[in-house]
Amino acid sequence: MIVMQLLLSFVASTLFGMIFNVPPRLLPHSGFVGMSGWAAYTFAVRSSVDSVIATFMAAFFVAFLSNAFARRYRAPATIFIVPGILPLVPGGTAFEAMRHVVMNDYNAAIPLAAKVFMISGAIAMGLIFSEVVNQLVKRRP
């Protein structure tokens, strides 16, 4: 089961990389970043961490790995970050929120929309924090 999840997330992220035209030699690396991000997310959620915090942790991890790869392979970090954060996007919650909006059930839609907003913010915060760490690492000679 876990192997299957890892494999699926690896393949999915690699293919996302293809959609964004990641150079072929770096495709496996972006797949690896995506897999690690998804693994971090599922691990956190299964050990009953709130999904907002889990997303934050996973996004931080994705960006941290991406920055490390960017230094190692002398390529822009975006190449690894973009396929890496896609699986973290709160698609399910956004879909539920949209479904309730369409049914005119705004009372049910608003908490879900707030959750989508919080999770998207968590992705951004994860990227920001990791950028800070990256700059601290860079400054050291």
**Does residue 106 interact with other proteins by CB under 8 A?**
no
Task: Number of residues interacting with other proteins: please give it, by CB under 8 A.
Answer: 42
Q: Are 16 and 26 in contact (CB under 8 A)?
A: no
**Does residue 37 interact with other proteins by CB under 8 A?**
no
**Does residue 9 interact with other proteins by CB under 8 A?**
yes
3-state percent breakdown (helix, strand, coil) of the chain, nearest 5? 85, 0, 15
Cβ nearer to other proteins, comparing 65 with 127: 127
Report residue 77: phi and psi, to 5°: -65, -25
**Does residue 110 interact with other proteins by CB under 8 A?**
no
Residues between 114 and 133 with contacts to other proteins, criterion CB under 8 A: 120, 123-124, 127-128, 131
**DSSP code string of 86-110:** GGGS-HHHHHHHHHHHHTT-HHHHH
CA-CA distance, 130 to 61, in Å (whole number)?
8
Q: Give Cβ neighbours of residue 71 (< 8 Å, ≥ 6 apart).
A: none
Residues that bind other proteins (CB under 8 A): 5, 8-9, 11-12, 15-16, 18-23, 26, 38, 74-76, 78-79, 81-83, 85-87, 89, 91-92, 94-96, 98-99, 101-102, 120, 123-124, 127-128, 131
